């Protein structure tokens, strides 16, 4: 594939929205004005002192930040290294997703938008979007695959209770990919008054960068908290799960240019990388274009997007964010493929070792620890991206 820019040495996005070979804005002309309006304004909006004050105030008073960095002693003993857990599960609504929706709704207000549209897979991003829309009194429409609506019913009810309209995506495979298509179509049909809050570090530039910036509070806090606890800001490893990759982007952000910190991404192998039921994008994908950016993508030889599978709806996506594609290609990140069973087992272990029931997505990050050949002196931060309440119906089958 040809590229429009020279390979980068840093991991910051270029003006054209590229991370190495990946990124850009592959969008139909119908979306160009919206995306361009956002591209031209997002940095100055975010830099504005009024925005900063409101954003940080809301993160503190409403989201409950900073979230703790917890030394997991029993897990550390079992793994044989020092493990800290970054407790994003303690954020309001139960996951890191709200860091981004708070930021984006403040951007949307400043762009004069009246309505919010979003996509959701497991419903966590949908709930986080519905929550900030209620907070700001904005209309909220969430597209969700009709199959996901059935398997994540409690989150559908939460969104409705928060006043959002949940629209089933009935096209294609009726999951996250199709919900994203439908949300984009909605935005095409309503270009002037609507802002699209994408939930991960995917989509056309500037979304991957904007979402990474809002999630970067995770690594900003890790640095300070780790210094307080250990006298150093840098761990040996930061570990996070990657579907689209927003919690990973946030946890990696302030370590991207520090090679002494290994960045570890756990992808969902589903029933096994070669089983035909997997979402291990870097293991199975090739470069391609999906949802507005050039990235690594699970696809057929003919370039048709393949339907992924994972037990965890939040990792059930055929692509990854362009930043992660660049981390993979450049070797800056280590990617592990974690099966459904390994993730489930890690969720049960954490629950019983530390009294924390994590989300299934997070279980993938925890399961990577056993595969990393850790030394006893290693310090590892795992991003505990979400809590497991939403997954109880899955967990209960194994009790």
Partner 1 sequence: MTLLTTQNRISDLFSQKSERLLNVYFTAGFPNLVDTVPILRGLQAAGVDLVEIGMPYSDPVADGETIQQSNGKALENGMSLKKLFTQLADCRQEGITVPILLMGYINPVLQFGVENFCRKCQEVGVDGVILPDLPLDLFLFDYAETFRRYGILNVHLITPQTSEARIRLIDEESEGFIYMVSSASITGSVKGVSDTMETYFKRIQAMNLRNPRLIGFGINNHETFDMASQYANGAIVGSAFIRHLDEKGISPDTIRAFVQTIRA
Sole binder of partner 1 in the list 6, 9, 15, 29 (CB under 8 A): 29
Q: Does 395 bind partner 1 (CB under 8 A)?
A: no
Stretch that binds partner 1, among 19-27, 48-56, 133-141, 244-252 (CB under 8 A): 19-27
The single residue of 76, 354, 385, 390 carrying the catalytic annotation is: 385
How many residues bind partner 1, per CB under 8 A?
A: 40
d(CA 54, CA 2): 42
Sole binder of partner 1 in the list 26, 51, 348, 395 (CB under 8 A): 26
| DSSP code, position 6 | P
CB of 87 to partner 1, least distance (A): 36
Query: Is 244:221 a contact under the CB 8 Å cutoff?
Result: no
Stretch that binds partner 1, among 68-76, 107-115, 171-179, 376-384 (CB under 8 A): 171-179
Footprint on residues 177-196 left by partner 1 (CB under 8 A): 177, 181, 184-185, 188-192
CB of 295 to partner 1, least distance (A): 11
Strand pairing partners for 336? 266
Q: Does 28 bind partner 1 (CB under 8 A)?
A: yes
Tokens of 60: 């503190």
β-strand pairing of 379-384 with 237-241: parallel
Stretch that binds partner 1, among 87-95, 141-149, 295-303, 371-379 (CB under 8 A): 295-303
d(CA 148, CA 199): 16
Q: Does 292 bind partner 1 (CB under 8 A)?
A: yes
- Catalytic, 330? Answer no
3-state SS assignment for residue 311: coil
- Catalytic, 233? Answer no
Quick one: 32 or 395, whose CB is closer to partner 1?
32
Strand pairing partners for 339? 270
Quick one: 191 or 272, whose CB is closer to partner 1?
191
Q: DSSP H helical segments within 70-194, as ranges?
A: 73-79, 97-110, 124-136, 146-151, 153-161, 176-189
- Catalytic, 221? Answer no
d(CA 381, CA 370): 14
Quick one: 2 or 373, whose CB is closer to partner 1?
2
Dihedral sign, Cα of residue 341, residue 346, residue 347, residue 352: positive
Query: Is 356:88 a contact under the CB 8 Å cutoff?
Result: no
Q: Does 289 bind partner 1 (CB under 8 A)?
A: yes
**From residue 51, how far is each of 45, 47, 79, 233 by CA, in Å?**
7, 7, 42, 27
Q: Does 25 bind partner 1 (CB under 8 A)?
A: yes
Quick one: 307 or 341, whose CB is closer to partner 1?
307
Sole binder of partner 1 in the list 197, 251, 297, 350 (CB under 8 A): 297
The single residue of 119, 221, 267, 349 carrying the catalytic annotation is: 119
Quick one: 25 or 256, whose CB is closer to partner 1?
25
- The per-residue DSSP string of 220-282 comes to HHHHHHHHHHHS-S--SEEEEE-SS-HHHHHHHGGGTT-TTSEEEEEEEEET-TTTT--B-HH
CA angle 385, 389, 391 (to 5 degrees): 85
CB of 119 to partner 1, least distance (A): 12
Strand pairing partners for 240? 265
CB of 300 to partner 1, least distance (A): 8
Residues that bind partner 1 (CB under 8 A): 1-4, 16, 24-30, 32-34, 171-172, 177, 181, 184-185, 188-192, 286-292, 297, 299, 301-305
Which residues are catalytic, by number?
Answer: 97, 119, 385
């Amino acid at each position: 594939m040809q590229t429009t820019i020279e390979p980068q040495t840093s991991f910051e996005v270029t003006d054209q929205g590229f991370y190495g070979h990946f990124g850009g804005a592959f969008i139909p002309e119908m979306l160009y004005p919206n995306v361009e309006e956002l591209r031209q304004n997002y940095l100055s909006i975010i830099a504005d002192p009024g925005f900063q004050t409101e954003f940080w105030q809301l993160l503190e008073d409403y989201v409950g930040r900073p979230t703790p960095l917890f030394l997991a002693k029993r897990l550390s003993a079992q793994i044989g290294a020092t493990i800290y857990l970054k407790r994003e599960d303690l954020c309001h609504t139960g996951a890191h997703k709200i860091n981004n929706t708070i930021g984006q709704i403040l951007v949307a207000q400043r762009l004069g938008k009246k309505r919010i549209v979003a996509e959701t897979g497991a419903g966590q991003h949908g709930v986080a979007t519905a929550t900030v829309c209620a907070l700001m009194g904005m209309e909220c429409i969430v597209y969700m695959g009709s199959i996901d609506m059935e398997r994540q019913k409690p989150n559908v009810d939460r969104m409705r209770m928060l006043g959002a309209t949940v629209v089933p995506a009935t096209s294609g495979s009726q999951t996250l990919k199709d919900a994203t298509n439908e949300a984009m179509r909605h935005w095409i049909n309503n270009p002037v008054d609507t802002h699209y809050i994408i939930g991960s570090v995917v989509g056309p530039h500037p979304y991957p960068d904007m979402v990474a910036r809002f999630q970067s509070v995770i690594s900003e806090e890790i640095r300070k908290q780790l210094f307080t606890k250990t006298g150093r800001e840098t761990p040996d490893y930061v570990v996070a799960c990657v579907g689209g990759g927003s919690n990973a982007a946030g946890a990696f952000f302030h370590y991207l240019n520090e090679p002494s910190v290994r960045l570890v991404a756990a992808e969902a192998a589903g029933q096994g990388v070669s089983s035909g039921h997997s979402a291990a994008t870097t293991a199975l994908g090739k470069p391609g274009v999906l949802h507005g950016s050039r990235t690594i993508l699970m696809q057929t030889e003919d370039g048709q997007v393949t339907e992924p599978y994972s037990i965890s709806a939040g990792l059930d996506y055929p692509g990854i964010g362009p930043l992660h594609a660049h981390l993979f290609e450049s070797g800056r990140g280590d990617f592990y493929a974690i099966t459904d069973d390994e993730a489930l087992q890690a969720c049960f272990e954490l629950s019983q070792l530390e009294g924390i029931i994590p989300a299934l997505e997070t279980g993938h990050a925890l399961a990577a620890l056993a595969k990393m050949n850790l030394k006893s002196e290693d310090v590892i931060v795992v991003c505990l991206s979400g809590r497991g309440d939403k997954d109880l119906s899955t967990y209960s089958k194994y009790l």
